[in-house]
Each structure stands twice: as structure tokens, then as C-alpha cells.
Amino acid sequence: MVEIIWSSKALFDKKEILEFWISKNRSNIYSKKLNLLIEQKLKQISENPDSGIQTNIENIRAVLVENYYIHYSIKPETIRILRIWDARQNPEHFTL
């Protein structure tokens, strides 16, 4: 299993997504569920880093959790989480 390192942008994305659902639902139940699903997916990719789909950006892979793509890069001993992107948004606005 390799170490997971979060970029500041990815941490910001995750915080914004979870806070959005808390505000929208007036409850933290879905946010807790989504956070758990993200953690489970990260455990999966830490055990099998190549399990994510290859993106059109070299050395960047992505996994889908609910409606969110987690974009990451792989190094020999680490996986760096780069961004979390809502798949329902226009991909033209996506930047790493």
C-alpha cells in the first residue's frame, strides 16, 4: 500500500463538496456517507494505483465516487490526490 498525499486544491474541493451537501440537505448524513465512500476508494487505489481510468493528461488517473471524479498521479511510493471534480459540470472548466 502506498501513501496518499492530498494537494491543497483537492482538500479545498473536498471541503467545498461536503459543506455544499450539509447546507443543501440541512444534515451531515450524506456528507459523512460521501466522505466514507471517498476514503474507501482511496484505500482501493492505494492498494491498486492503476485501477483508475487513464485521463487525457499523461500520468493522471481518475476514479469515480458517486458523481465526483478524484484525479490523482502515481509516484513509486505515493499517490497524490490532485482535484475532485463534479462530473456533472462542464469539463471545459476543469483545471488541475
* Average confidence score pLDDT of the chain: 93
Backbone angles phi and psi of 13, in degrees to 5: -55, -50
pLDDT number for residue 43: 96
pLDDT number for residue 93: 66
Give the C-alpha separation, 13 to 51, whole Å.
22
Domains annotated for the chain, with CATH where assigned, are: 3-87 (3.30.2310.20)
Could you tell me the sign of the dihedral formed by the alpha carbons of 12, 44, 21, 73, in that order?
positive
Give per-residue burial for 42-81: e unless 16+ CB within 10 Å, then b: beebeeebeebeeeeeeebbbbebeebbbbbbbeeeebbb
Residues 54, 90, 94, CA angle at the centre, nearest 5°? 55
For range 51-72, the mean pLDDT: 95
Name the helix (H) or strand (E) containing 51: none
Q: Note whether 53 and 61 are within 8 A (CB).
A: yes
What confidence tens digit (pLDDT) does each residue in 1-20 have? 789 999 999 999 999 999 99
For range 40-59, the mean pLDDT: 94
For range 42-62, the mean pLDDT: 94
For range 21-42, the mean pLDDT: 97
For range 69-83, the mean pLDDT: 95
